[in-house]
Amino acid sequence: MRILMLTRFYLNGQTTHVFSLCSELLKAGHQPFLAAVNLDHPAYRQWLSSRRIPFTTSAEQHHLDKLMENYSFDLIHTHSAHTLELALDFGRRYQIPTAATCHYLDFEPLDLLAAADKIITISPEMAETLALPAEKTVMIENGVDIRALRTEQIPRNHSVPTALIAVRMTEEKEPGCAELVRALTAQGWKVYSVGNWRPYYLGIPYSGWQVNLTALYQAADLVIGTGRSVREGMAAGAACFVLGDYLDGVVTEANVELLRHYNFSGRAAKQLPDPQVIAAQVEYLSKTNLAELQEFSASYAQEHFSLQEMTDAVISVYRSLVG
């Protein structure tokens, strides 16, 4: 199938999801063409080129019309509220179906989303919360590259335990992350961050944005974040700690199904990152067998977070649309 994939570029998990899906579709013999508005990051452009994924950074109508002349797309798959109306219009004009993946609970406008021929939600929470037509909505959870992330280094061979913060920092997330850093370092942990880390005064090592975090995940004893970061951290055999706007804490065998229901967002308890709660979670880590948590993470991710299975489910949606 020839798929026009539409999204708006952000430095976040949504971009990784879309790019990974394109790569897997190509491996499966399909022909995705990615239109990523605002894709101005050289490393991500290089990632696409290295995997021979055709792409453009323009979603202007005349440009997409020219692509249609050249590629005769079978369907459109849009991933952003900013490209949804464009996708629906394109589908109507060329009489091809439109699939839309909803990545956020606050997606607007829902009436336009409901106009897509097929709607994909990414978590049970989202499927339950959003008022979308049941007959055309399917839930497909995010998958990660469990083959590439898998490692035999469990437990990690570290004299000092290490924690990786993989959070897209905002003003709202900063106090909780800072409190967790203080609590971990007080217990002897080494903490580092990837992305737009702050507050700087804590003095932890940090790097800028990176396209591929596999090696960092595989080296960490603990991964701190939400959503995709948690799934990738678990697949790499790290213990994981859910912290963003809200705090759900350490992922364990006892709570993983509940936290997964909410896509590891922190919304399971909607608990604010209070210092006492964070201290209790760090105390729990200090008394828990870290290797057992890591083994559980790896085995659970291998069973439940397959990118290939996610792609197969998306292809089934495509086939239901094009016959």
What domains can be seen in the chain, in order of their start residue? 2-143+306-322 (3.40.50.2000), 147-304 (3.40.50.2000)
Q: Evaluate if residue 198 carries a pLDDT over 90.
A: no
pLDDT score, position 236 = 98
Give, for 42, the enclosing helix (H) or strand (E): helix 42-50
pLDDT bracket for residue 69 (50, 70, 90):
very high
Beta carbons of 39 and 14 less than 8 angstroms apart: no
pLDDT score, position 157 = 84
pLDDT bracket for residue 199 (50, 70, 90):
confident
Q: Evaluate if residue 35 carries a pLDDT over 90.
A: yes
- Taking residues 118-123, what's their average pLDDT? 98
Cα separation, 51 vs 170, whole angstroms: 32
- Taking residues 290-298, what's their average pLDDT? 97
Beta carbons of 87 and 102 less than 8 angstroms apart: no
CA 8, 223, 270 angle in degrees (round to 5)? 75
- Burial (CB < 10 A; 0-12, 13-18, 19+), residue 80, is buried
Q: What is residue 265's three-state secondary structure?
A: coil
pLDDT score, position 77 = 98
pTM greater than the 0.85 cutoff: yes
pLDDT score, position 200 = 86
Cα separation, 8 vs 78, whole angstroms: 9
3-state secondary structure 223-240: EEECCHHHHHHHHCCCEE
Q: Evaluate if residue 201 carries a pLDDT over 90.
A: no
